Amino acid sequence: MTEKKLGEREIIEIIFSKLDKTSRMSVPFGDDVSAIKLGNNLIAVLKTDMLVAETDVPPKMSFWQASRKAIVMNISDFAAKGVKPTAILVSLGLPRKLARENVIKQIAEGLNAGAREYDTYILGGDTNEACDLIIACMLYGVAEENRIVSRSGAKPGDYVAVTGLFGKTSAGLKILLQNLKTPKQIEKRLVNSVLMPKARLKEGLALAKTGAVTASIDSSDGLAWSLHEIAKASKVGFEIDKVPMAPEAEKFAKIHNLDPMELCFYGGEEYELVVTINPKLWKEAQGAVEKVGGKLIRIGKTIEKKEIYLKVKDRIVPLEARGWEHFRPNRS
């Protein structure tokens, strides 16, 4: 009998089930970051995530951009928790064919650019030979335990909000992977969203200070999946009444006869924050984000019934629990 092939999330669940838990663990398995108590209400916040060329580096992405992205991926998870990273370690796996001076310079410069963009530093790491380009980053920071924002605090009546519009990266990946022809002015913005992603660290830090956020996650695996992850952790549901669709993605969908909702909700790699907000503190949260140059867009509300759906006029459309996942056929 052939064993069932597992997806990334099933693999993670199996691994977590075999690990002993320390009583000093401050953030549960499966959240955006890990944390351990240091005492005096302080916690050490840790994150590791790896970029692998075969699955994470699309055509036309340079080595500089790929290495910068490896940093941004990790920074985004710190942003979701409202924590500033203090330091970074990098482990680099290199195929022998890439062990060339010009390539290594691009990778090093991209890593440094990503770190300095978010006001942190790389302290060291490891380098080894591998069968594919692998850039694994580990971030460290310190935070007050009662200030970190988990996925599990959403309550019925809370607003659901995001820090940006969705669909651009999904459309951009289709251009890069399928060579779909698009007007140049739209194509540039869509492709750039893939090649030069941005983490919402300023927004995450500003939101954490307000005390208005009840739950938070980064949207790197897609908006729909992010909503399901918060709903699962918080034991709630969501009614979404506003589609945060990027106009460029909507135009792209019309040109190529694609479903814009698919691009918006099931794409991934946007690195926006998906948060739930205490409605009494909504104006304070919105003002804090705008003060640092960002946006906070209300897209719905938290409900008691454990369902997640899009409500447009009188039509209700269930939002499925799917998005980007390794070991699954995500790209076409």
What residue ranges in 40-188 does DSSP mark as E strands?
A: 42-52, 87-94, 121-129, 134-144, 159-162
Does residue 161 sit in helix, strand or coil?
A: strand
Lookup result for tokens 């002993």: 20
What residue ranges in 95-202 does DSSP mark as E strands?
A: 121-129, 134-144, 159-162
3-state helix, strand, coil in the chain (%, to 5): 40, 25, 35
Indicate the domain borders of the chain. 8-147, 159-318
Average of pLDDT values for 208-230? 96
Residue 4 has pLDDT above 90, yes or no: no
- Lowest average pLDDT, out of 8-17, 29-38, 128-137, 167-176, goes to 8-17
How, if at all, do strands 121-129 and 87-94 pair?
parallel
Average of pLDDT values for 167-175? 96
DSSP state of 57: -
Query: Residue 329: its pLDDT value, please?
Result: 55
- Looking at CATH, the fold of the domain delimited by 159-318 is given as Phosphoribosyl-aminoimidazole Synthetase; Chain A, domain 2 (3.90.650)
The answer to whether residues 152 and 250 touch, using CB atoms and an 8 Å cutoff, is no
Residue 51 CA neighbour count, 13 Å, CB half = 27
What residue ranges in 219-261 does DSSP mark as E strands?
A: 237-240
* Bridge partners (DSSP) listed for residue 174: none
- Edge to edge, what strands does the sheet with 213-218 contain? 213-218, 273-277, 159-162, 297-303, 237-240, 308-312, 315-318
Query: Residue 326: its pLDDT value, please?
Result: 54
The answer to whether residues 216 and 272 touch, using CB atoms and an 8 Å cutoff, is no
Average of pLDDT values for 79-95? 97
DSSP state of 215: E
- Looking at CATH, the fold of the domain delimited by 8-147 is given as 60s Ribosomal Protein L30; Chain: A; (3.30.1330)
Residue 325 has pLDDT above 70, yes or no: no
Residues 31-56 have pLDDT tens digits of 889 999 999 999 999 999 999 999 99
The residue with greater pLDDT, 31 or 144, is 144
Residues 240-270 have pLDDT tens digits of 999 999 999 999 999 999 999 999 999 889 9
CA-CA distance, 103 to 107, in Å (whole number)? 6
